A and B are shown apart, each in its own frame.
Chain A
Amino acid sequence: MLFFSFFKTLVDHEVTIELKNDLSIRGTLKSVDQFLNIKLDDIQVVDEVKYPHLSAVKNVFIRGSVVRYVHLPANAVDTALLEDATRREAAAQANKAK
């Protein structure tokens, strides 16, 4: 749930999603769910010349399993907090494993 929790804070920020099919889509993150499915608004394909058929698409729903990378807006990420969250997550996992 760490990533879910994390991406929720990025709602309404601009992100770039890199898909496993090498398509990169930049857009405003509208929502994310626990499967890390992603809804983007006002999208723009990074390599628009290569994918002209997507130039008319305004918003997308991306299945979480096809996402390779998400480029984050650095100033919207609280790294210290993220470290803490990761520690908590790790501790929770360790507790669960016991």
Chain B
Amino acid sequence: MSFFGFDTTLPKDRAPNAPHPKQAPGFSQQQDAFAGLSRNDNAEEEGYDFEDTYDGLGDELDERDDAFNDETFGGSSSAPGKDFDFFGSTAKVANAINEEQLLYARGPKKSIPQPSQQSPVQQRPTKQPVSYAAATKAKVVVKHQIPTEIPELKPEMSLWQTTSPEATPTKSMSAHAAVHFRHVEEPQATSQLISAPPAAAPTQRKYKSLEEVEAEILAKKQAKLAATFQPIQQPPPPQPQPQLQPPQPAQPQLNQQDGWPARPVQPFPQHPQMIPPPQHLQQTQMELPFPPRAMPPPQQNQRPPPNDRAPEHLQRGPIPQPPGQMPFPQMQPGQPFPTNNMQFPMGMMPPPPHGPQFVAIPQIGQQQMVHMSDEEKAKYLEEQSKRLKRNHKIAQLSRYNGLMTPQDKNFITRIQLQQLVSVNEDSFNEDFYYQVYMAIRARNNPQQPLNQFAQTYLGQQGARGGRARRQDNHLLRMQQQVQRAVAAAKARPKASQLVLEGSLGKISFSNVKTPKPLLSIKKQDSTGATDPNQKTSHSTFAGIDRRSILAAAEDIYRCLLELDSHERKHPGPNLAGHQPDAATVQWLETRDALVQKLWRSMRILEPFKEESSAPHPFIAILSVKKAKEAIPRVFRYIDIEQRITILTMITISLDQVDVIKDGRYPPDAVALPPETRRKIEGFSQYVLPPLLSYVAEAQLSLITGLLGILIDRVNLLLLSQTQIGLAFLTMFTSRAEIIKQAGLADDEQVLKWTQTYDRLFAILEDHLLDIFPPHGAQVDDMYVWQFLASMAVGANMQQQQKMVGAVKDRVNENVQASKTLPQEMGQQKLANTNLFLRALGLDIDLLLA
């Protein structure tokens, strides 16, 4: 007895005329289509004898060392654990595995002779084509790496349901496979089997009882079916199964058995790549391409015994699938359908084996394969797997084809477009940061970000004209669609809340702008509290209260933002003529009103309060950083007159500006407090440049006037000891010098200037050393040297001598220090000092030499 219960007796060992074995199925019983598989019909009928192959190693085992096996492997008393019950757990997932195998089995098959222990057919030297089923099998093993044993050991439960045609695809499949199998084997088999009739019979003996029962049931049915179908049948393939039931003529037996003797083998739909040998072609052409669907597929004669390995693995190829959960290969149009019409339980027609998407490859028959060189084979296999991969991909992609109707798609698109409504409705309200940020970046880097910008947000700038030209049609179309969608959405105003009758609560709808409904807080109290304050701060600005200063600064920004957004609504250049059109006029009017509002928000025209020591409101506002930062933006909108006013206002109150007031080095200190330093930095970064740019174009008379104001009204000594103060003085003197040297002013103005300059010099000449930052302060004293240089340029001989006398020590000190300091800092110090020396007509090199 073999391990799997086969009868291992070789045919030659049996008496040819021995009575039919008791346990073997009789003639009245079903033949086992797969019984032949267990027979090795090699040329050497003998097969291997155990004694021939046994090397006797087992006899040499040392049995004595088994004494401690229990200790090593655990006590033998306990029952074996389930730890290694791989099959048990695998069986649970066997369905999934089966499904997957089916998936692959249905894919295009390669017909490579694969050595496979499970298919005896393939052990033969393959002059005949290998069975398709076997090829499928081999393929699965190669491609999938699924342990073949697992599904084989598991009985297919569906096999035992005999009646419903819906539920029997497997059976019919196996039937097909089996018939097919026989078919392939047949040319060789015929001759051999006649001489060895009992060979297959014993393999059937094990499942006798069940077969008996079913045979009875089917006997009647088959009689009917045979009667019905015999006339239709084409002449069957010669001797389809003689090896199984030799004493019986094949044809009648078949008819009796399953009523479907000439069940066509369908090589083409099954394995399109494999060209069957010619005799196959001829046969199949004669046969029906598909058996009528209504036919209950014959199953009895092919029922594989659960322990019969070979037939069962054949069955595994096509696994029955409930119609509801068909794996996708069944649905793919381009995939070859390897199996019979039972694969289309929904009444689908099998598609042509070579769909349009199919990658055509040369089809290579089995015989050709055999003669191919290894290289060619490898190439061929590679091609095959490539194609397989591609088909698989296509299949996966096309899995969802046609799931959505055009209406569905439209609907989704509309929803998506409406999500963009906010972007296009008023992008600068809802999406201000992004829009402006991207616009700034687009300006800085003209190529890349604009593209991204346009693609991401459908070129919202197109609406404003100008840059839209560069965007392609597609985006514009998209944008129009969006606009239409928006219009439609606006036409149907949405309620934001729904109160159901009798309910206690409200249902709030969220939209894209408010994903969650905001808390609705009663605003009455807060507005009531702040409004009076606001009003008072508007009318009577104290200028002390930090809160009102901040509020005032915010006012400025509010006006600025309004102006900014108004600026964006510019109607564009008027192409019609010089006369501005109505829109432009209106725009300009609004702009003027807004500028006026901005101007008022600066509070620069509010009168000085003589009695109070508090600074002017504008100066007070200027003390906060954000107000300083607003100055450059304000300067963009205001006109020349207003700029002069600002400059004058700052000049008049210069000693009250925080950066001057706090900007002097306290005695014994070598550094300013950090906050003051930050303020000074902010002032010179934001406020000075616009002032400077204005001063750079101012007339000499104005400069003279401003310097006069400084001399008259401001503590010049304080001013001269601060960075910003010196910066102002430098600004005025250097501008005046430029005008003088360029000859842009008449003599009277120059004279006036000279007088003013003399007064300034007179005040400062004794305090020239005080303008330097304290000794040892680690600050850049460039601004001091700049000031000295600008003074020196405008000074006369005497004044220059006085200056040199005053700062000579400092110059020498710097030169000395530069030698000890690191190179970079030393160079910097020398350069600063040189500014002054050059203004005197000297050079630092003279001192160094």
Residues of A within 8 A of B (CB): 1-2, 4-6, 8-9, 34-35, 78, 80-85, 87-89, 91-92, 97-98
Contact A9 B515 (CB under 8 A): no
Q: In the complex, A6→B436 CA distance in Å?
A: 11
B513 is an interface residue with CB less than 8 A from chain A = yes
Can you report 5 residue pairs joining A to B where beta carbons are below 8 Å apart?
A: A1-B513, A5-B435, A9-B438, A82-B433, A88-B432
A34 and B437 in contact, given A1-B430, A87-B557 (Cβ under 8 angstroms): no
Contact A78 B432 (CB under 8 A): no
* Mask of B612-650 contacts with A, CB within 8 angstroms, 1/0: 000000000000001001000000000000000000000
Q: In the complex, A77→B323 CA distance in Å?
A: 57
Contact A85 B558 (CB under 8 A): no
Chain A residues within an 8 Å CB radius of B554: 87
Minimum distance in angstroms from B441 CB to a CB of chain A: 8
Chain A residues within an 8 Å CB radius of B576: none
Contact A1 B422 (CB under 8 A): yes
Contact B433 A81 (CB under 8 A): yes
Chain A residues within an 8 Å CB radius of B432: 2, 5, 84-85, 88-89
B746 is an interface residue with CB less than 8 A from chain A = no
Q: In the complex, A15→B767 CA distance in Å?
A: 55
Residue of B430, B561, B629 touching A5 (CB-CB under 8 A): B430
Nearest chain-A residue to B428 (Cβ)? A88
Minimum distance in angstroms from B162 CB to a CB of chain A: 50
Nearest chain-A residue to B629 (Cβ)? A80
Contact B429 A88 (CB under 8 A): yes
A91 and B438 in contact, given A1-B422, A9-B433, A82-B433 (Cβ under 8 angstroms): no
Contact B433 A5 (CB under 8 A): yes
Q: In the complex, A74→B833 CA distance in Å?
A: 38
Q: Which of the four size classes fits the interface of chain B?
A: 20 to 34
Chain B residues within an 8 Å CB radius of A34: 419, 512-513, 515
Minimum distance in angstroms from B509 CB to a CB of chain A: 14
Most buried by B among A6, A34, A88: A88
Contact B629 A87 (CB under 8 A): no
Other 6 A-B pairs with CB < 8 A, given A5-B431, A8-B434, A87-B558: A1-B422, A34-B513, A80-B629, A83-B626, A84-B557, A88-B428
Residue of B419, B430, B437, B564 touching A9 (CB-CB under 8 A): B437
Contact B561 A87 (CB under 8 A): yes
Minimum distance in angstroms from B439 CB to a CB of chain A: 10
B440 is an interface residue with CB less than 8 A from chain A = yes
Contact A91 B561 (CB under 8 A): yes
Chain A residues within an 8 Å CB radius of B494: none
B523 is an interface residue with CB less than 8 A from chain A = yes
Residues of B within 8 A of A (CB): 419, 422, 428-438, 440, 512-513, 515, 523, 554, 557-558, 561, 564, 626, 629
Most buried by A among B437, B438, B629: B437
Nearest chain-A residue to B522 (Cβ)? A97
A81 and B430 in contact, given A1-B513, A87-B558, A87-B561 (Cβ under 8 angstroms): no
Q: In the complex, A67→B573 CA distance in Å?
A: 47
Nearest chain-B residue to A85 (Cβ)? B433
Q: In the complex, A15→B435 CA distance in Å?
A: 21
Minimum distance in angstroms from A48 CB to a CB of chain B: 32
Most buried by B among A1, A81, A85, A87: A1
Nearest chain-A residue to B565 (Cβ)? A88
Contact A81 B440 (CB under 8 A): yes
Contact B512 A6 (CB under 8 A): no
Contact B433 A91 (CB under 8 A): no
Q: In the complex, A82→B422 CA distance in Å?
A: 19
A9 and B558 in contact, given A34-B512, A35-B515, A78-B440 (Cβ under 8 angstroms): no
Chain B residues within an 8 Å CB radius of A81: 433, 436-437, 440
Most buried by A among B419, B433, B523: B433
Nearest chain-A residue to B456 (Cβ)? A8
Nearest chain-B residue to A86 (Cβ)? B433
Q: In the complex, A5→B435 CA distance in Å?
A: 8
Chain B residues within an 8 Å CB radius of A83: 557, 626
- Which 8 residue pairs across A and B have the least CB separation, nearest first? A85-B433, A5-B434, A5-B433, A5-B431, A85-B432, A8-B434, A9-B437, A1-B430
Q: In the complex, A69→B614 CA distance in Å?
A: 43
Chain B residues within an 8 Å CB radius of A87: 554, 557-558, 561
Contact B440 A88 (CB under 8 A): no
Minimum distance in angstroms from A34 CB to a CB of chain B: 6
Chain B residues within an 8 Å CB radius of A88: 428-429, 432, 561
Chain A residues within an 8 Å CB radius of B428: 88
Q: In the complex, A83→B557 CA distance in Å?
A: 10
Chain A residues within an 8 Å CB radius of B422: 1
Chain B residues within an 8 Å CB radius of A97: 523
A1 and B440 in contact, given A35-B515, A83-B626 (Cβ under 8 angstroms): no
Chain B residues within an 8 Å CB radius of A8: 431, 434
Q: In the complex, A92→B512 CA distance in Å?
A: 16
Minimum distance in angstroms from B268 CB to a CB of chain A: 45
Contact A2 B433 (CB under 8 A): yes
Nearest chain-B residue to A11 (Cβ)? B456
Chain A residues within an 8 Å CB radius of B557: 83-84, 87
Minimum distance in angstroms from A81 CB to a CB of chain B: 6
Chain B residues within an 8 Å CB radius of A98: 523
Contact B561 A84 (CB under 8 A): yes
Chain A residues within an 8 Å CB radius of B629: 80
Contact B431 A1 (CB under 8 A): yes
Q: In the complex, A6→B430 CA distance in Å?
A: 11
Contact A92 B429 (CB under 8 A): yes
Q: In the complex, A83→B512 CA distance in Å?
A: 23
Most buried by B among A4, A83, A98: A4
Q: In the complex, A5→B512 CA distance in Å?
A: 13
Q: In the complex, A10→B810 CA distance in Å?
A: 51
Chain A residues within an 8 Å CB radius of B433: 2, 5-6, 9, 81-82, 85
Q: In the complex, A89→B561 CA distance in Å?
A: 11
Minimum distance in angstroms from B430 CB to a CB of chain A: 5
Minimum distance in angstroms from B628 CB to a CB of chain A: 12
Minimum distance in angstroms from B442 CB to a CB of chain A: 12
Q: In the complex, A35→B438 CA distance in Å?
A: 21
Q: In the complex, A9→B434 CA distance in Å?
A: 6
Chain A residues within an 8 Å CB radius of B431: 1, 4-5, 8
Chain A residues within an 8 Å CB radius of B558: 87, 91
Q: In the complex, A5→B428 CA distance in Å?
A: 10
Minimum distance in angstroms from A42 CB to a CB of chain B: 19
Nearest chain-B residue to A80 (Cβ)? B629
Chain A residues within an 8 Å CB radius of B437: 9, 78, 81
Q: In the complex, A2→B561 CA distance in Å?
A: 16
Chain B residues within an 8 Å CB radius of A2: 432-433
Minimum distance in angstroms from B630 CB to a CB of chain A: 10
Chain B residues within an 8 Å CB radius of A82: 433
Nearest chain-B residue to A83 (Cβ)? B626
Minimum distance in angstroms from A88 CB to a CB of chain B: 5
Minimum distance in angstroms from B682 CB to a CB of chain A: 12
Q: In the complex, A78→B434 CA distance in Å?
A: 10
Chain B residues within an 8 Å CB radius of A85: 432-433, 436
Chain B residues within an 8 Å CB radius of A9: 433-434, 437-438
Minimum distance in angstroms from B437 CB to a CB of chain A: 5
Most buried by B among A6, A8, A82, A98: A8
Q: In the complex, A60→B512 CA distance in Å?
A: 23
Nearest chain-B residue to A9 (Cβ)? B437
Q: In the complex, A89→B432 CA distance in Å?
A: 9
A6 and B434 in contact, given A1-B513, A84-B561, A87-B558 (Cβ under 8 angstroms): yes
Chain A residues within an 8 Å CB radius of B434: 5-6, 8-9
Q: In the complex, A38→B437 CA distance in Å?
A: 20
Minimum distance in angstroms from B419 CB to a CB of chain A: 8
Minimum distance in angstroms from A62 CB to a CB of chain B: 15
Q: In the complex, A9→B437 CA distance in Å?
A: 7
Minimum distance in angstroms from A94 CB to a CB of chain B: 9
